[in-house]
Structure 1
């Protein structure tokens, strides 16, 4: 792990001293108890936009209005580098996330087509079967470690089937995904990306020689107007998609399960109305709003002023997604989960050209988790004497969650 001296940067001349705030996204006070509440406390205590010396030095936008604007304005806030601290110079870019339009659209299209609502609907029986099998396995025990026994089973089995990779390889792939999204330094993340690329190389070559109907085949044979993407780009693309598919939905399901274990009234509301599709859709949106997950940084593309702040080309900024759901200017009492909230406002899946292509699948998996779990285990809580292990970083997550039920 980097020393604090390596992580921090002296304040550049163009940044006013009053806009400097102590914020380290890998070490947020209070995050061990509630990650999103810890972010909300930062939001209330700091300027709307501030600069932190940690993780190479970068700006942070804390309010929904600004974050949504920055997510949509790729002309000023480029996706050229999306992680903090920055990856070493010369690191292959993460395709298509570290691309801006119009280049980005050509690479993103096959992923969008593969995860269209009609395609995702066809996966429903598979998702439900995986969920039921995982629940029935732990049900008689009256206890489980939820992350290993369920949250890392449902989305990962479904995703590995989508890309047609062996399910037994998850034991190799999951630790790499963990290092990629929550590694506290660039070296850890770079090792994970290289290891994943090494794992994928033979699979990529095989799908380029003999493409199938699976998602991986479509990604590694993207047509760029008569020319296929290079092998290096194909490996980078497959690496990014695998990391996303292996971690983010598992993290969201973990946060939701932890919330329901701690809030029996909310759990009972869901149990009573589990077959009410409109209510369940609204409840899922509210749970997603309250439990923001992924963060992607941006690079300022050119010198310009924004709301009285002078940004300089090359500045990095973190418009953290979860701040939107926590913003009391957009959501009344944002820390409170209200299944009757008229319009939950959040950016859990991003906005603009880079909005998450897997959002439809993620919502479907969350719905199936709630329906199948609550029908079988309507009453559960955190095992007495244990504390959920939460993590912050570029992707927040629940690393351990021990549950018990009658």
Structure 2
């Protein structure tokens, strides 16, 4: 195993975060089994070679210090494409870029979308509830947030299946050919979308953002492509993935199900606790200068990976971290929305959709379970997710 670096042997781990453990293993278990108890920063020779942060303390430090850890590339391995906006910009450029999308997630537009999301959630649930089962990911998890997001973006509903597959190929590729297909498809789709919205702006978030002032000018085409990439990637995957983990946990934990059904006022806090326990993002940063950090000699240009689940499951950060405690007081301190200047701008809409799921599903399908003959199928990568989640109820 060639590390391509002179890294002390005790800091080298044979850990590929795209394939973190035994096929089908819960990725959170795979991450903790493979990395907890290791030094705070270790080196993986996979995916071009990069550092991995293994503790909660170091994870927060990396995500909140753009001076030492730049956001210029959040993917491992690096992708040759325009930087995503504002995800891959550091202050002060990041400040103006983020300001350009602020109108999308103000209370008024989020409230409008929440009303549509609630109506859609009820329609989806009541369509399959009489059947006594569903495949949650395709029939609900991917439907609710994606339909809402495509409506916000004024994009055709017919595009959603191929868009979903392309996003999955980019963040959880089956192999290199799948990754390359996803990049090519998304690249062509985004190029066409940006050309259309620059020539014919509408009232969608991309069009509005392209008209905003970012330090005395408007976004150039490269920045517009980067913004479209961020909007599509976030809107098409992260909420869908989080919904699936919520559904799996509740299917396997009837006491938590019953508590939220009988005491729905607990739902807002419960959302953060479930997001903490099933923290999905694996976020990269780039080291800005040679330095010593947590016992490791980092070099300028090195990539360093922060896995939100290693922070969430660190017992120094959360008591009994593997246990879901729906009354946990510090659950909101999770990194599911990242941290620092890059705290997710879309968090208000995401939280609204997650709340709507719990509020509308539990009264209609109060008792449900996984299917022992058709178990869940997990996927790992930039986001830890579920490919399939068959559920059954009486």
Task: Give the TM interval when normalised to the shorter protein.
Answer: over 0.9
Compared CA separation, residues 123 and 355, structure 1 to 2 (3 A): same
Match of 2:334 in 1: 346
- SS of residue in 2 equivalent to 1:296: strand
Mind listing any 5+ residue stretches in structure 1 that lack a counterpart?
1-7
Alignment TM-score, normalising by the size of structure 2: 0.94
**Which moved further from structure 2: 217-226 or 181-190?**
181-190
Task: Please provide the CA RMSD for this pair.
Answer: 1.8
Q: Could you tell me whether the CA contact under 8 Å between 1:31 and 1:391 is conserved in 2? A: no
Give the Cα–Cα distance (whole angstroms) in 2 for the partners of residues 174 and 195 of structure 1. 11
Mind listing any 5+ residue stretches in structure 2 that lack a counterpart?
none
**Which moved further from structure 2: 378-387 or 116-125?**
116-125
- SS of residue in 1 equivalent to 2:391: strand
Give the Cα–Cα distance (whole angstroms) in 2 for the partners of residues 46 and 33 of structure 1. 20
Q: Could you tell me whether the CA contact under 8 Å between 1:9 and 1:57 is conserved in 2? A: no
Match of 1:106 in 2: 96
Equivalent positions of 1:10-25 (< 5 A) are: 10-13=3-6, 15-25=7-17
- SS of residue in 2 equivalent to 1:126: helix
Match of 1:50 in 2: 42
Match of 1:291 in 2: 278
Q: Could you tell me whether the CA contact under 8 Å between 1:220 and 1:235 is conserved in 2? A: no
Alignment TM-score, normalising by the size of structure 1: 0.92
Give the Cα–Cα distance (whole angstroms) in 1 for the partners of residues 386 and 152 of structure 2. 24
Equivalent positions of 1:217-296 (< 5 A) are: 217-274=207-264, 276=265, 279-296=266-283
Per-residue displacement from partner, 1:183-227 (whole Å, max 9, x unpaired)? Answer: 266764454233223223343233223322211212333433343
Compared CA separation, residues 186 and 383, structure 1 to 2 (3 A): closer
Match of 2:297 in 1: 310
Per-residue displacement from partner, 1:26-77 (whole Å, max 9, x unpaired)? Answer: 1122572322222222343422211111111111111111111110111111
Match of 2:129 in 1: 139
1:378 partnered with 2:378:
no
Q: Could you tell me whether the CA contact under 8 Å between 1:180 and 1:243 is conserved in 2? A: no
Q: Could you tell me whether the CA contact under 8 Å between 2:36 and 2:55 is conserved in 1? A: no
Query: Would you identify which runs of 4 or more consecutive aligned residues in structure 1 move more than 6 Å?
Result: none
1:179 partnered with 2:169:
yes
1:26 partnered with 2:13:
no
Number of aligned pairs?
393
Give the Cα–Cα distance (whole angstroms) in 2 for the partners of residues 197 and 12 of structure 1. 33
Correspondence for 1:59 among 38, 51, 61:
51
**Which moved further from structure 2: 252-261 or 23-32?**
23-32
